[in-house]
Amino acid sequence: MTRTRLLASALCGLALSACSPQDPQQKASAALVDGVLLPAYSSWNQANQQLAANADAYCSGSQDLASARQAFLASVSSWAALQPLMVGPLAEGNRAWQVQFWPDKKNLVQRQVEALLKSKPQLAAADLEKSSVVLQGLTAYEYVLFDPNIDLDDAAQKSRYCPLLTAIGQHQQKLSADVLSQWQAKDGMADQLKQFPNARYAEAPEAIADLLRTQVSGIDGLKKKLGTALGRQSKGIAQPYQAEFWRSNASLTSLASALASAERLWLGANQDGVKSLLGSEQADLAQRIDKQYSATRQLLAAIDRPLGEMLAEEAGRTELNAFYDSLNQLHRLQEGELAKALGIQLGFNAHDGD
């Protein structure tokens, strides 16, 4: 063997990962970044760019209220899609609260919006930046656009609330652009999920564990949101005003977006997601999770009325409870059997103890 070949062999022995096929967990993590995570964060940023533009257009009179509401709903859907994907920058620094304040058990959104506009009738973007997270996000935006006590056809009321709309639009655009830049930066979140070791993860299994933990926590969060409205924490007494986005009737749309995103993390963009890490001996588990996603999606798709209407009648609540139970089965399958099959200890999540 030549001296050159001996040297190459020694180097491969020192850095086996560089001389052998990519580790399956590293491959799956990298594929999820490119096929699922980055597209979702990019879509969120694009939706917020549109939200800010529509706020300006609506307030200047070049677009109508219906267009402003549609831009809001698009932003809600793109935000909801991030719920099972909230690793890294968005999960840090109180950022998520700046997007959505929920649950609003004491109607803080209405109270704080009205107090802010009373104290700052000529509200500027800088004023919002110094304000509570209750005022900075989609929940306050929804209050202005959809609350029945606000008549935006009245020029004086529109003039009063428009500075807040434009300020929130700017804040959301800035926030999502900042988060996306932290994903795309050199040695940023995307790189940290692709190349190991790094400042966040020592090895690929840690990254996969973090992704699964976030997904499972996201699905558990969906259960909490639906369960709160159903009254599962209040002796079965429905709480329609504790549903997220109840003013705009976007509660079920939000749940659907988040559920679809969780399934994308499971499948991957090209069958290269978390599911790809299960071996042939775990084919039964993979099939059961596939079927549970399908069943849960179908139950949600069959609900063709707003959540508030469904909560108001027994038949509607029965249908919602069936969806909740299916969602719970999906959560338990992934939290328990999937995590065990992958050798992952999930530990506590953000919703434990609620």
pLDDT of residue 353: 40
CB 98 within 8 A of CB 134: no
CB 37 within 8 A of CB 179: no
What pTM was estimated for this model as a whole?
A: 0.91
Helix/strand/coil (H, E, C) string of 115-150?
HHHHHCCCCCHHHHHCCCHHHHCHHHHHHHHHCCCC
Between CA 199 and CA 88 the distance in angstroms is: 12
CB 268 within 8 A of CB 36: yes
Q: What is the pLDDT of residues 142-194, one digit of tens each?
A: 999 999 999 999 999 999 999 999 999 999 999 999 999 999 999 999 999 99
Q: Average pLDDT, stretch 209-227?
A: 97
For a pLDDT cut of 90, what percent of the chain falls above it?
90
Please give the helix or strand (H or E) that residue 28 lies within, else none: helix 24-32
The pLDDT mean for the chain works out to 93
Q: Average pLDDT, stretch 126-142?
A: 97
Domains and CATH numbers, the chain: 24-341 (1.20.1420.20)
**Phi (first) and psi of residue 124, to 5 degrees:** -115, 160
**Beta-carbon neighbour count of residue 332 at 10 Å?**
15
CB 84 within 8 A of CB 265: yes
**Beta-carbon neighbour count of residue 303 at 10 Å?**
18
Q: CB neighbours of 317 closer than 8 A, spacing ≥ 6?
A: 230, 238, 310, 311
CB 155 within 8 A of CB 3: no
DSSP string, 209-225: HHHHHHHHHHHHHHHHH
Give per-residue burial for 71-104: e unless 16+ CB within 10 Å, then b: bbbbbbbbbbbbbbbbbbbbbeeebbebbbbbeb
CB 246 within 8 A of CB 142: no
pLDDT of residue 348: 55
DSSP string, 76-107: HHHHHTTGGG--GGGGSTTHHHHH-----TT-
**Beta-carbon neighbour count of residue 185 at 10 Å?**
12
Residue 10 above 80 pLDDT?
Answer: no
pLDDT of residue 75: 98
9-23, 56-70, 326-340: the lowest-pLDDT one: 9-23
